């Protein structure tokens, strides 16, 4: 992508990263040199965007089934829910995956798309494994995801974040991401390199750069990072936006309908409808494999999870 090509002239990646992550056996992990070009040829950490939201179903805009609690469904082995016929819903924990954009608006529709990009398996692992690790706070999970999106060097993170990473990711996933980390870029360098980029691109790149600085500073607070990552207030539709009513259903390719209604970026009303002939009856729906993509491209894309909000 163009803005990642721009960063080629600005960023440098350490030729070798030596990190010690608590909980990985106590050894020193040698991270091979991936080369600057090879890092950026992979594109952003997560590439999912509105073009990937191919399954919206406007024919069901007036469909309002009787919704049972999602807790009525048994848990699956990956922290999801074993489906049966009917409609089920709950407020679930969700996570910002697009720092430097606006949080959800009051009337915006959100559509289903799968995680895509170099970090898709790692992102799914964080949300999936967090279900069995309730002692890890939602804020810690979110901060870890921001560190991943900003390509922060894991060995420079706080011990608490390193410990969380050790519980939610494999040693190989941590090593791979550590090897693709970026350093902090000066404001002057950012200004020179991004002067010709569109405003939304500049917002995202600058926010990720500021997050890298905050994430590696012991004095930083979650609130400071949140102010950088999640913009507030109204915002005009971004490039390529669509129009759709809040609560629009997406017909999942596996044979059920799902919709997302966020209340802020960290809480999403998640509803699923399973028809009698669905091939997913008796199988697991794993919310960690869902990204709620806004029809307004200037707003946050939201990773879902199987953790109930407030628990």
Return d(Cα 178, Cα 288) in angstroms, integer: 23
Domains: count for the chain: 2
Question: Alpha-carbon distance 173 to 128, whole Å?
Answer: 14
- The tokens 């969380």 sit on which residue? 164
How is residue 13 written in tokens?
């990646």
State residue 273 phi and psi, 5-degree precision.
-120, 125
Q: Cα dist. 120→27, 41, 86 in Å?
A: 26, 16, 30
Distance CA(218)–CA(209), nearest Å, equals: 17
Same structural domain, 154 and 30? yes
Structure tokens at 113: 């798309």
Shared domain check, 197 and 74: no
Residue 202 domain-assigned? yes
Question: How is residue 9 annotated by DSSP?
Answer: T
- pLDDT at position 26 is 37
pLDDT per position as a tens digit, 187-213: 544 545 544 565 666 777 788 889 989
Q: Which of 229, 261, 286 is the last residue of a domain?
A: 229
Distance from chain centroid for Cα 308: 17
Do 159 and 15 lie in one domain? The reply is: yes
pLDDT beyond 60 at 145: yes
pLDDT value for 178: 81
The whole-model pTM stands at: 0.84
Residue that has been written with the tokens 């721009």 in this structure: 6
Q: Is the pLDDT of residue 80 over 90?
A: yes
pLDDT at 8: 37
Verify that 160 and 27 share a domain, yes or no: yes
My answer on whether 144 and 41 are in the same domain is yes
Each residue's pLDDT tens digit, 224-265: 999 999 999 899 999 999 999 999 999 999 999 999 999 999
Q: Which domain holds residue 277?
A: 50-113+240-308
The per-residue pLDDT for 311 is 86
Q: What is the pLDDT of residue 23?
A: 35
Q: Give the residue from 246, 226, 251, 243 showing the smallest Cα distance to 95.
A: 226
Nearest one of 299, 308, 235 to 268, comparing CA atoms: 308
pLDDT for 1: 46
**162, 194, 229 — which closes off a domain?**
229
Q: What is the pLDDT of residue 201?
A: 63
128 CB-contact burial (10 Å; exposed 0-12 / middle 13-18 / buried 19+) = buried
């Amino acid at each position: 992508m163009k803005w990642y090509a721009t960063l080629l002239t600005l960023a440098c990646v350490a030729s070798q990263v030596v990190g010690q992550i608590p909980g990985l056996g106590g050894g020193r992990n040698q991270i091979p040199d991936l080369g600057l070009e090879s890092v950026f040829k992979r594109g952003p950490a997560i590439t999912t965007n509105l073009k990937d939201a191919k399954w919206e179903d406007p024919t069901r805009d007036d469909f309002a089934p009787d919704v049972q609690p999602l807790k009525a469904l048994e848990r699956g082995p990956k922290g999801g829910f074993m489906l049966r016929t009917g409609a089920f819903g709950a407020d679930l924990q969700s996570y910002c995956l697009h720092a430097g954009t606006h949080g959800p608006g009051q009337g915006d529709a959100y559509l289903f798309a799968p995680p895509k990009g170099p970090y898709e398996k790692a992102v799914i692992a964080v949300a999936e494994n967090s279900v069995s690790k309730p002692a890890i706070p939602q804020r810690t999970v979110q901060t870890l995801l921001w560190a991943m999106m900003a390509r922060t060097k894991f060995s420079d993170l706080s011990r608490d974040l390193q410990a969380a990473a050790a519980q939610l990711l494999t040693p190989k996933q941590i090593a791979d991401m550590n090897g693709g980390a970026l350093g902090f870029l000066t404001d002057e360098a950012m200004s020179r390199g991004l002067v010709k980029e569109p405003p939304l691109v500049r917002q995202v790149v600058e926010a990720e750069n500021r997050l890298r600085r905050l994430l590696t500073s012991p004095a930083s607070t979650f609130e400071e990072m949140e102010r950088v990552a999640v913009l507030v207030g109204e915002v005009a539709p971004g490039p390529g936006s669509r129009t759709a009513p809040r609560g629009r259903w997406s017909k999942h390719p596996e044979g059920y309908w799902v919709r997302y209604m966020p209340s802020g970026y960290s809480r999403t009303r998640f509803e699923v409808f399973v028809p009698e002939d669905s091939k997913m009856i008796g199988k697991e729906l794993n919310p960690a494999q869902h990204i709620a993509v806004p029809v307004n491209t200037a707003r946050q894309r939201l990773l879902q999870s199987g953790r109930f909000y407030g628990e």
